[in-house]
Amino acid sequence: MNAPPIIQTRSLAKTYLIGDVRVAALEDVTLAVAEGRFMAVTGASGSGKSTLLNLLGGLDTPSAGTIEVDGALVSAMNREALARYRRFGAGMIFQSFNLVPARTALENVELPLVFSNVDKKERKRRAAELLEKVGLAHRANHRPSQLSGGEQQRVAVARALANGPRLLLADEPTGNLDSRTSREIVGLLAELNRGRRLTVVMVSHEESLVREYAHDVVRLRDGRIVGTESRA
Amino acid sequence: MRFTDAVEFALASLRKRRLRTLLTASGVMIGIGALVSMISFGKGMQKNVTEAFKASDLFTTLMVMPGGADVPSRDPARPRRPAETAGRAGAVLDDAAVAEISQIPGVRTAYPDVSFPALIALEGEEEFRLVQVVPAAVAASNAVRVGWGRAYASDDEEGVVVSRSLARRLGTDEPAAAVGKTLRITSVSIDLGELASLDLAGLFSGKGLPVAREVYDFPIVGVTEITAFGGGPSPVQNDVIIPPGTARRIKRLPITSIWDLFRLRDGRLGYSAASVKLGSLRDLEPVKSRVREMGFTTFALADQFDEITKAFYFMDMILAAVGMIAIVVAALGIVNTMVMSILERFREIGVMKAVGAGDGDIRRIFFFESGTIGLLGGAAGCVLGWAVSLVINRVVNFYMARQGMPDIDYFAFPFWIFLGAVGFSLLVSLVSGIYPARRAARVDPVIALRHD
Ligand SMILES: Nc1ncnc2c1ncn2[C@@H]1O[C@H](COP(=O)(O)OP(=O)(O)O)[C@@H](O)[C@H]1O
Ligand SMILES: [Mg+2]
């Protein structure tokens, strides 16, 4: 782990207020992820994994602490800067795929390029290229409802990479998939991690997949880091 | 995001909810349609009245009254007799004065407003009417619109012009048939010499007035058209007009009101009013000041035109206010549709934000959506307003034709009405979109994407 960290959090905390009760979803999380690594985040349900990923992805803002990604202080960004960070800085995929049902696979992959003002022709070209990279060129004009779970998640991966981020955040990407398809998706992430020097942070419960692909494993319990493992 | 992409996103989303888009746009269409027909009605009235006034020479007619007479005024701050038009008391408007006025440069004709009550009979049917004395030159002008036959040719011709409505009341429905028929005028006269020697005691002691009836027959040479607005705004209002030379030969009461009787008592016989026809509107001010120097009171309708314009402005406001009610309802419809759209697309908004859409991008998509509804509804509203006006116009003219009224366009559609309506509709829809757009932009992606 001698490469400089692409992600560095310090004393990160997130508390939610439910009525009068303060729920600490994340507490004192200090974490570094070196560039080009594949990190897995594990922990029981409710341990704060999604909260951590949302903070890293700029979807949410911390209650305390700092997040630095690629030298930029994400935790201090305003709404507009956060939108730009989500556009270019970090791609995200989710357990429930989150594709736009009315749009075809190609159009879903185009979506981030629309917000980065890429013109239509170039957009189509890049989206087609990305779909080919995830092995779905033949499904470009299908709508999400016409695709299998694994195919939908591949479209989501292509979409997350559209603006060329150096960071991919995956929140239980295999939660809705069978074990064979899960292996394929994690395999795809690992391949992208190898080939493109893409840093991946993935939340997962599946110990076998984690052991097989992750370089680093972070364990969370009740919002705190309770263990980290790394292999070379 | 680019402008064209925002438009495409908005259109795609509207197409997907086609029925709702159509219904919401229909609300806007009805509102804009109501507004368009209301305003075009106001403009139509204004155009008709202004044109009728211009055509009737009312603007180039100056009314002259004896010094000290009351001047009609609708200005509440100055209910009577504005100081600048009131002449000095005592100036008598007699034949010499009228002749002098007619010599003022810019004056085409000046003639006293003389009318007298008489019993009018045509083929047995009879009615009491005021007979107005009008010079031949005026009868031949726009002030009198002869639709059938002709105006009398000289001030001494033995012939009268009657209105179409009088002809009808006297039993001749076809105006052309009235031309050439004989009109019997029965006038009442009082021996003025005897009147002067009467005292009040004599008047009430049962001796009665020294009244005589005279009967005259004249051929009807022309019948006037009925114009659109209550017989038309015209300096000549009466149902029977007669040339002055001919009128002089009729023995009659020289009075039209009780005030004339008092004036008679101090031996200062004058007309209660005279009409002065001008060559053009430019002559109004110089002629007016000359006449006032002579000690007379003047009244020009042209001076009142500002007030007429103000009245139409006020009418427009009221009509627009009625149309606005429909617009407000339509605007609420847009707000409702857009807020519904946010709830339905909650997750999609979250997805767009997660892949990098800024607050501005989301706002723009929603703005364009409501704007498109506004444009569609506005354009359709123009067509609707125009079509409804056309139908109303047809129906009204159908019934008016039965009353013998000519066809009129009650609605006017200057081009700016349509441009203004579409522009206004767009504006209203964008304003309606402000709240939904802001709300959409504020959607928290974490909440929107939290699974299931
Ligand atoms: N928006 C929220 N409001 C209130 N509590 C929340 C919210 N999001 C998460 N939490 C709470 O924070 C804790 C961590 O949640 P989460 O990060 O989703 O856990 P995980 O993804 O590990 O299952 C849980 O106790 C959850 O109930
Ligand atoms: Mg979770």
B359-406 residue pLDDT tens: 999 999 999 999 999 999 999 999 999 999 999 999 988 888 887 677
- What is the number of domains present in chain A? 1
Query: Which uninterrupted H or E stretch holds B213?
Result: strand B211-224
**Mean pLDDT estimate for chain B:** 80
| Most trustworthy range by pLDDT among B64-78, B192-206, B241-255 | B241-255
How far, in Å, CA of B48 to CA of A136, rounded? 71
pLDDT for res B361: 95
**Which of B22-26, B97-101, B172-176 comes out lowest in average pLDDT?**
B172-176
**Which of A98-112, B133-147, B324-338 comes out lowest in average pLDDT?**
B133-147
- Residue A169 Cβ inside 6 Å of ligand 1? The answer reads no
Taking the Cβ of residue B348 and every Cβ of chain A, the question of whether any pair is shorter than 8 Å is answered with yes
Q: Whose CA is nearest to atom 25 of ligand 1?
A: A46
pLDDT for res A11: 96
- C-alpha pair distances (Å), A199 with each of A2, A59, A194, A214, B311: 15, 18, 9, 11, 75
How far, in Å, CA of A130 to CA of B74, rounded? 79
**Which of A41-45, B36-40, B95-99 comes out lowest in average pLDDT?**
B95-99
End-to-end CA distance of chain A: 7
Residues with Cβ < 8 Å from B185, sequence gap 6 or more? Answer: B118, B119, B120, B121, B131, B160, B215, B216, B217, B218, B240, B242, B250
Report yes or no on A11 lying in a domain.
no
Report yes or no on A10 lying in a domain.
no
| pLDDT higher than threshold 80 for residue A196 | no
| pLDDT higher than threshold 90 for residue B155 | no
- Residue A89 Cβ inside 6 Å of ligand 1? The answer reads no
Q: How many residues does chain A have?
A: 232
Report yes or no on A31 lying in a domain.
no
Residue B442 C-alpha to ligand 1 middle, in angstroms?
21
Q: Which of B350, B359, B446 sits opposite A79 (nearest CB)?
A: B359
Interface of A with B (CB under 8 A): 54, 57, 59-60, 79-80, 83-84, 86-88, 92, 94-96, 98-100, 102, 111-112, 114-117, 119-120, 159-160, 162-163
ipTM computed for the complex: 0.95
Q: Which of B16, B356, B445 sits opposite A102 (nearest CB)?
A: B16
Expressed as residue numbers, the domain containing A205 is 37-61+76-230
**DSSP per position, A105-154:** HHHHHHHHHHHTT--HHHHHHHHHHHHHHTT-GGGTT--GGGS-HHHHHH
> Using the beta-carbon criterion (under 8 Å), do A102 and B353 form an inter-chain contact?
no
- Residue A21 Cβ inside 6 Å of ligand 1? The answer reads no
Report yes or no on A150 lying in a domain.
yes
pLDDT, average across residues B342-360: 95
Q: 3-state DSSP call for residue B343?
A: helix
For residue A54, give the chain B residue with the closest CA.
Answer: B446
Q: Which of A79, A88, A100 sits opposite B351 (nearest CB)?
A: A100
**Mean pLDDT estimate for chain A:** 94
Report yes or no on A27 lying in a domain.
no
Report yes or no on A95 lying in a domain.
yes
| pLDDT higher than threshold 50 for residue B72 | no
- Residue A145 Cβ inside 6 Å of ligand 1? The answer reads no
Residues with Cβ < 8 Å from B305, sequence gap 6 or more? Answer: B59
Banded pLDDT at B110 (limits 50, 70, 90): confident
Report yes or no on A17 lying in a domain.
no
Taking the Cβ of residue B10 and every Cβ of chain A, the question of whether any pair is shorter than 8 Å is answered with no
Question: B288-306 pLDDT, tens per residue?
Answer: 888 888 888 888 877 777 7
pTM of the model: 0.71
CATH of the domain at A210: 3.40.50.300
Question: A140-177 pLDDT, tens per residue?
Answer: 999 999 999 999 999 999 999 999 999 999 999 999 99
**Which of B120-124, B300-304, B310-314 comes out lowest in average pLDDT?**
B300-304
pLDDT, average across residues A6-29: 93
Higher-pLDDT residue of B98 and B31 is B31
Query: Which uninterrupted H or E stretch holds B399?
Result: helix B359-402
- Residues B320, B321, B324, B328: what is their CA dihedral angle, to the nearest 10 degrees? 170
pLDDT for res A213: 93
pLDDT, average across residues A209-231: 93
Looking at the DSSP bridge assignments, the partners of residue B179 are none
Q: Which chain B residues are within 8 Å of A79, Cβ to Cβ?
A: 358-359
- Residue A47 Cβ inside 6 Å of ligand 1? The answer reads yes
Give A78→chain B minimum CA distance, Å.
Answer: 11
